[in-house]
Structure 1
């Protein structure tokens, strides 16, 4: 009997083994190699014998902080990701509330709302680069409303161009998860609110929003992590080297590694990216754990 129980309790662990091996190969091994490379003086001269490259400990980290634009790129990445995440929240919630109830053509409207999210980032960046280029559609349209002509792909306005394009591309994620949360609300809750004569705002505040807290928080976390680690859209939209106002951390890491060939410094910047992503993720997981514990 004890052998059967042992084998039965051990089966789930064996079932997790293939996924664990895959995770080890895909995540743990590359991360370990990146950590090791970040401790080496690795460049185009020592790349062929990279295993025997000089071991400089934390020299690459010190150089990345003191002699590169790392801190500036972190500020740009976090600032733009925060603005985009906060801006997509009301847009996604409004779209979810607008398409929750049945109406004629609801399926078509929902499909149209998903277009920005399903388009590849390369396509989005290419189309918006054409729109925002000098003498492009955006410049001619805004000039009719008295907005002065200025460069959108260079200079101070490039930051807001990146924010606008990223908002357009990422708000459907909040919309999807908020809509899923709305669909999970029991119809009896709506009926009870209607019988009690609850107003529109009170219904949103006390009936709908409490059920959306989990999905919306998850959507904002995923959106922030995606935005702060986004490489394709800034790369296609502005090219490299990118303007200083949109020199986000993933693009700076790419430039250091594949244009300046300072692979050790680039690996150190990649480690900083992992830490930057791990902080909000750990906070969210801890909040979820505490919430479950209280339940």
Structure 2
């Protein structure tokens, strides 16, 4: 049977009626929802301050980011539309407006400027691919080799981290002395001690050999970063997987192929992208090895843009090249993230 509805005496008034209504489950639920949505009463000042605290802590970093990166980027884009030379350095806003002329000059491969930029771009892409591949290969191999505990592992890991711990300027300048033709350590070991390449010492910092010298320095100082990232990622792979695979008869190479590499997929996605961006934008290595004028075989696009801007004093063309490089990096990064993200979704769906 359904119980009859309660009647509220008329003498209690509207206050009693409101109290009885507020005590129902629906009213209590509505009150909770109202408080969750922020409409159940006045907001406390302390709660508002706590909510704003993270944004206040981020404000100095955001301001510095705007000051250090975004403001120069916007100024560089504006400079790329002007004929900015040494005659307008005091007030670059007075430089004549040229529109897209600087961009047309940079991409016109039939003219010397565009042809030189294309050669530099091809050299940079080849250098980046080789450097990233070798850094990833060496870092992964070293991380897998030192994954299991053995005597002296800590010391070996510390030695691996030395190139990454050294300041870039000290490391590259040291290599520049080692690559000297007459009194460098590289020629002394190869020619004088091992007898390789004949008695005539090799020129490492000029000619075609400059590319391989630059690649050696880049890999030497960058691969420990890949080793560090992969070593940290290997700690998250359960050891039970390797034990089960060993019981099933899987060898070392099969374990690496079936367990290690698939488990490192997400980490490798980020690692390769970071190494690609670092290497493609590397300016310290060619500048410290070769100075302001790198050999043609080692003319990376970063040093090429520097020469176009600060050696020939054509800041407008140099800014246009920088903007084109930025667009290329954005395009490659977006395509890489799209392809790798789609590949991971397909793998998860299987």
User: Which among 184, 187, 210 is matched to residue 139 of structure 1?
Assistant: 187
Q: Which moved more, 1:278-287 or 1:16-25?
A: 16-25
How far does residue 250 in structure 1 lie from its aligned partner after superposition? 0.9
How far does residue 199 in structure 1 lie from its aligned partner after superposition? 1.8
User: Which among 252, 269, 281 is matched to residue 200 of structure 1?
Assistant: 252
Counterpart CA distance in 2 for 1:93 and 1:14 is 37
Partner of 1:277: 329
Contact 2:269–2:340 at 8 Å: present in 1 too?
A: no
Partner of 2:55: 15
Contact 1:256–1:265 at 8 Å: present in 2 too?
A: yes
Partner of 1:130: 177
How far does residue 78 in structure 1 lie from its aligned partner after superposition? 1.0
Distance 1:39 1:175, change over 3 A: same
Give a deviation string over 1:172-211, Cα, whole Å, max 9, x none. Answer: 1221121122111012212222332322222111111111
Give a deviation string over 1:191-244, Cα, whole Å, max 9, x none. Answer: 222332322222111111111122223222211211111001110111121111
Counterpart CA distance in 1 for 2:132 and 2:273 is 8
Structure 2 unaligned spans of 5+: 1-34
Q: Is residue 248 of structure 2 the alignment partner of residue 213 of structure 1?
A: no
Q: Is residue 38 of structure 2 the alignment partner of residue 3 of structure 1?
A: yes
User: Which among 48, 55, 61 is matched to residue 103 of structure 2?
Assistant: 61
Coordinate RMSD, CA, aligned: 2.5
Superposition map of 1:171-250 within 5 A: 171-250=223-302
Q: Which moved more, 1:210-219 or 1:139-148?
A: 139-148
SS class of match (2:88): coil
User: Which among 49, 63, 76 is matched to residue 91 of structure 2?
Assistant: 49
SS class of match (1:3): coil
Contact 1:174–1:216 at 8 Å: present in 2 too?
A: no
Contact 1:116–1:172 at 8 Å: present in 2 too?
A: yes
How far does residue 55 in structure 1 lie from its aligned partner after superposition? 0.7
Aligned length: 294
SS class of match (2:86): coil
How far does residue 54 in structure 1 lie from its aligned partner after superposition? 0.7
SS class of match (2:264): helix
TM-score of the aligned structures, taking structure 1 as reference length: 0.90
Counterpart CA distance in 2 for 1:162 and 1:290 is 35
